[in-house]
């Protein structure tokens, strides 16, 4: 049998097997139970988070021989035809390639006929924002008052490109990025079904790289399993994904905190040999210092878990352990330093040198509190000597000039 990619193999066939999107599943199942199904839906949201999947499940729910039901049987002719994409009454149309007024005209003509076998005629139009203005206009009338047996389900990643006239005629549902914990759980279930094993760190790396997109996460999993077999090490996974191995970044953080220049340089050398992108490395370091600072500052375990939601349990424990007894001000300043260096390192002619020097500065950071208070004293003295500061001149203290707004990295 030919190989089916994981994303296709594990496409949810029912509402309750969808990961995340609980708010949408709840609304749709209630609507079906109460017989209050709208005639046009618009599913919006980022790539690969379940829009098309939900559209197909909704089509099954409406047309299942035992329905309409929120739990389609999956075995009747209608359910099977819809899953296989061969139903005569459920049409999946790619809005990108069927975007003209002629295409819409065809739909308009066909909706007037009764369904051939199933209960409803359902039109799922993907990438609906690609329709031309004339096509949208041609659709308006039908969308306003379609025949009783017709349902429209539109999906798009770019709802802002849709005309208001269309938006106002649809019931809109916003799909969200899938939360890290739910996604990790789903990936682990799939790994078990595939007889494969990844550490929780490796899973969490995939989750983070996928930025909440399930299709992306599954494609990465496919790649990792085919590149490295069924139980790859964390380093293998990171390398297959071209990602920064978190353990390596953690070692670097440890070296900076301990002011251990030799350990730091050895690690940079190792990462350089592996062809790591230094900009990504610095982004990862900034993220790790943010996490260490959170671990150091939030003592309630539940609140800490929430604030460090992206981390696997073992990673969170490691962060707590590492941040113990470290001066929070030192962590904040290391964050400032690596965060500030991301841009410099990415632009440097020799990124490795720029990275090493930036990190050496981190090792030589003077104990922060004394510097801060020394600067404050110098400033106070300067003010006394020179009178009120001229606006826009030296009014900004070196400390606040260094501080940059925090942007989370992924």
Ligand X SMILES: Nc1ncnc2c1ncn2[C@@H]1O[C@H](COP(=O)(O)OP(=O)(O)OP(=O)(O)O)[C@@H](O)[C@H]1O
> From the list 48, 68, 95, 351, which residue makes contact with ligand X (rule: CB under 6 A)?
48
Count Cβ atoms below 10 Å from residue 196 Cβ, excluding itself: 16
**Taking the complex as a whole, how short is the minimal distance between the CB of residue 54 and ligand X, in angstroms?**
7
Whole-angstrom Cα distance, residue 263 to residue 252?
A: 8
Of 52-60, 231-239, 332-340, 380-388, which part binds Mg ion (CB under 5 A)?
Answer: 52-60
Binding mask 20-39 for ligand X (x = CB under 6 A): xx------------------
Q: Are 95 and 130 in contact (CB under 8 A)?
A: yes
> From the list 21, 52, 156, 267, which residue makes contact with Mg ion (rule: CB under 5 A)?
52
- Which pair of structure tokens corresponds to residue 93? 């149309």
Q: Are 43 and 1 in contact (CB under 8 A)?
A: no
Contacts of 30 (CB under 8 A, 6+ apart): 36
Whole-angstrom Cα distance, residue 243 to residue 197?
A: 19
Q: Counting contacts by CB under 5 A, is residue 62 touching Zn ion? A: no
- Please choose which of Zn ion, Mg ion, ligand X, none residue 215 contacts, taking the beta carbon within 5 to 8 angstroms, the exact cut-off set by kind: ligand X
* CA-to-CA dists, residue 109 to 104, 124, 166, angstroms: 9, 16, 19
Count Cβ atoms below 10 Å from residue 26 Cβ, excluding itself: 12
Count Cβ atoms below 10 Å from residue 297 Cβ, excluding itself: 13
> From the list 24, 59, 64, 221, which residue makes contact with Zn ion (rule: CB under 5 A)?
64
**Taking the complex as a whole, how short is the minimal distance between the CB of residue 8 and ligand X, in angstroms?**
6
Between residue 158 and residue 187, which ones bind ligand X under the rule CB under 6 A? 178
Between residue 269 and residue 308, which ones bind ligand X under the rule CB under 6 A? none
Q: Counting contacts by CB under 6 A, is residue 19 touching ligand X? A: yes
- Please choose which of Zn ion, Mg ion, ligand X, none residue 208 contacts, taking the beta carbon within 5 to 8 angstroms, the exact cut-off set by kind: none
Contacts of 317 (CB under 8 A, 6+ apart): none
Binding mask 185-224 for Zn ion (x = CB under 5 A): ----------------------------------------
Q: Counting contacts by CB under 6 A, is residue 212 touching ligand X? A: no
Q: At how many degrees (to 10) do helices 246-257 and 278-297 cross?
A: 60
- Please choose which of ligand X, Zn ion, Mg ion, none residue 49 contacts, taking the beta carbon within 5 to 8 angstroms, the exact cut-off set by kind: ligand X
Q: Counting contacts by CB under 5 A, is residue 79 touching Zn ion? A: yes
Q: At how many degrees (to 10) do helices 328-347 and 351-363 cross?
A: 160
φ and ψ at 148, to 5 degrees?
Answer: -50, -40
Q: Counting contacts by CB under 5 A, is residue 73 touching Zn ion? A: yes
Whole-angstrom Cα distance, residue 138 to residue 167?
A: 15
Q: Counting contacts by CB under 5 A, is residue 21 touching Mg ion? A: no
- Please choose which of ligand X, Zn ion, Mg ion, none residue 20 contacts, taking the beta carbon within 5 to 8 angstroms, the exact cut-off set by kind: ligand X
Q: Are 214 and 49 in contact (CB under 8 A)?
A: yes
**Taking the complex as a whole, how short is the minimal distance between the CB of residue 126 and ligand X, in angstroms?**
6
Which CB, 9 or 324, lies closer to ligand X? 9
Whole-angstrom Cα distance, residue 396 to residue 358?
A: 23
**Taking the complex as a whole, how short is the minimal distance between the CB of residue 205 and ligand X, in angstroms?**
19
Whole-angstrom Cα distance, residue 364 to residue 309?
A: 32
φ and ψ at 211, to 5 degrees?
Answer: 50, 40
Of 74-82, 120-128, 304-312, 341-349, which part binds Zn ion (CB under 5 A)?
Answer: 74-82
**Taking the complex as a whole, how short is the minimal distance between the CB of residue 12 and Zn ion, in angstroms?**
15
**Taking the complex as a whole, how short is the minimal distance between the CB of residue 213 and ligand X, in angstroms?**
8
3-state secondary structure of 159: helix
**Taking the complex as a whole, how short is the minimal distance between the CB of residue 60 and ligand X, in angstroms?**
14
Which CB, 99 or 330, lies closer to ligand X? 99
- Please choose which of ligand X, Mg ion, Zn ion, none residue 64 contacts, taking the beta carbon within 5 to 8 angstroms, the exact cut-off set by kind: Zn ion
Helices (H), 230-350: 234-240, 246-257, 261-273, 278-297, 301-307, 313-323, 328-347
- Interacting residues toward ligand X by CB under 6 A: 7-8, 10-12, 18-21, 47-53, 126, 155, 157, 178, 214-215, 218
- Interacting residues toward Zn ion by CB under 5 A: 64, 72-73, 76, 79
């Amino acid at each position: 049998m030919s190989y089916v990619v994981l994303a296709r193999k594990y496409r949810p066939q029912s509402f309750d097997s969808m990961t995340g999107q609980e708010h949408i599943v709840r609304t749709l199942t209630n609507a079906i139970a109460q017989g209050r199904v709208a005639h046009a839906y618009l599913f919006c949201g980022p790539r690969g988070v379940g829009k098309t999947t939900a559209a197909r499940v909704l089509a099954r729910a409406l047309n299942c021989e035992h329905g309409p039901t929120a739990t389609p049987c999956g075995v009747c002719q209608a359910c099977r035809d819809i899953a296989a994409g061969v139903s005569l009454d459920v049409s999946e149309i790619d809005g990108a390639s069927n975007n003209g007024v002629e295409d819409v005209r065809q739909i308009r003509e066909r909706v007037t006929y009764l369904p051939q076998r199933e209960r409803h005629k359902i039109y799922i139009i993907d990438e609906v924002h690609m329709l031309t203005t004339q096509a949208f206009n041609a659709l308006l009338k039908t969308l306003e008052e379609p025949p009783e047996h017709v349902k429209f389900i539109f999906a798009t990643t770019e709802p802002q490109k849709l005309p208001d006239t269309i938006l106002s005629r649809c019931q809109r549902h916003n799909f969200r990025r899938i939360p890290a914990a739910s996604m990790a759980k789903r990936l682990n279930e799939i790994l078990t079904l595939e007889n494969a094993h990844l550490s929780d760190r490796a899973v969490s790396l995939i989750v983070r790289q996928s930025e909440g997109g399930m299709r992306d996460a599954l494609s990465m999993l496919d790649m990792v399993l085919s590149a490295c077999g069924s139980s790859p090490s964390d380093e293998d996974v990171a390398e297959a994904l071209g990602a920064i191995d978190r353990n390596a970044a953690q070692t670097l953080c440890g070296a900076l905190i301990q002011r251990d220049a030799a350990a730091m340089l050895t690690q940079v050398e190792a990462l350089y040999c592996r062809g790591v992108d230094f900009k990504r490395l610095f982004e990862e370091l900034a993220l790790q210092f943010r996490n260490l600072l959170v671990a150091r500052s939030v003592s309630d375990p539940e609140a800490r878990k929430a604030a460090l939601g992206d981390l696997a349990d073992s990673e969170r424990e490691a962060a707590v352990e590492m941040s113990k007894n470290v001066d929070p001000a030192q962590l904040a300043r290391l964050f400032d330093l690596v965060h500030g260096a991301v841009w410099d390192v990415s632009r440097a002619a020799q990124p490795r040198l720029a990275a090493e020097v930036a990190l050496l500065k981190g090792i030589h950071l003077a104990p922060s509190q004394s510097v801060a208070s020394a600067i404050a004293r110098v400033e106070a003295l300067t003010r006394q000597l020179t009178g009120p500061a001229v606006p826009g001149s030296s009014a900004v203290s070196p400390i606040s000039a260094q501080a940059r707004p925090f942007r989370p990295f992924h």
